[in-house]
Amino acid sequence: MNIVLLGYPGSGKGTQAKALSEKFALFHISTGDIFREAIASKTPLGLEVSGYLGAGRLVPDKLVLEIIKARLASETRGLLFDGFPRTVEQAEGLDDYFSSKGRAVDAVLFLDVDEAEVVQRLGSRRTCLKCGRIYNLLSSAPLKEGLCDADGEKLALRDDDRPEVVSRRLSVYKDQTEPLVSYYKGAGNFHSVKAGRAPAEVTAELSAILARKAGPN
């Protein structure tokens, strides 16, 4: 099963991807995490992409597709894409790559949430600098202020969750990523889920969709 998660920045893709990849034994591939890790460890890729992330702009399609193909070259598990594809060109690149491998996108899960809700979520999101665990000061605060429940490390506002970068990311989403909704709707395996609810409720609905896809075993 190969799944694409689609939705606004802050719609909950990362949180849902973690839950679903564990539940359905899928390989979770997050281009945002790949880029942030590369930036943190100052690799050549990190140096190349840090300007784009810092400004809330998209990394060029050609580079994104190269990274994805390199990561998937020897992967045989089902895939769960989080933050990719993000443009129609990337979606076409994925379709071409998949058809050369005899694979296909089996479901597109769209996390539907209002723009006002994502602005509020991104401003109150905090991330553990060490393990990447995500908190929200309004809905899922850590037990001790400013510290991760899992490892006690400091929590921080992601660099690109600063208000000036958030507004750029939202306009980039509307211009470049939203057209994917009609791209995938045409393919007939598109599922829209109301995502302004508690994460566990959203996970339950997404899991039911995937369980139906996976069939009765």
- Asked if residue 184 binds ligand ADP (CB under 6 A), the reply is no
Name which position in 64, 109, 206, 210 contacts ligand ADP (CB under 6 A): 64
77 catalytic residue (yes or no): no
Query: Which residue type does 105 have?
Result: V
C-alpha 4/C-alpha 211 separation (Å) is 15
For 103, the token pair is 């694979």
158 catalytic residue (yes or no): yes
- SS3 label, residue 1: coil
Find the shortest distance in angstroms from Cβ 56 to ligand ADP.
5
Angle formed by the axes of helices 163-172 and 44-55, nearest 10°: 90
103, 158, 162, 213: which one is catalytic? 158
Residue number with the shortest CB distance to ligand ADP?
32
- Asked if residue 86 binds ligand ADP (CB under 6 A), the reply is yes
18, 36, 121, 125: which one is catalytic? 125
| 78-99 exposure pattern, b = at least 16 Cβ within 10 A, e = fewer | bbbbbbbbbbeebbebbbeeee
- Asked if residue 53 binds ligand ADP (CB under 6 A), the reply is yes
62 catalytic residue (yes or no): no
- SS3 label, residue 193: strand
36 catalytic residue (yes or no): no
- Asked if residue 12 binds ligand ADP (CB under 6 A), the reply is no
Q: Distances from the Cα of 138 to the Cαs of 33, 129, 133, 200, 205, in angstroms?
A: 23, 19, 16, 16, 23
Name which position in 29, 39, 58, 109 contacts ligand ADP (CB under 6 A): 58
Give the count of beta carbons closer than 10 Å to the beta carbon of residue 139.
11
13 catalytic residue (yes or no): yes
- Asked if residue 9 binds ligand ADP (CB under 6 A), the reply is yes
In the complex, which residues of this chain contact ligand ADP (CB under 6 A)? 9-10, 13, 31-32, 35, 52-53, 56-59, 64, 83-84, 86, 90, 160, 169
What positions carry a catalytic annotation?
13, 86, 125, 158, 169
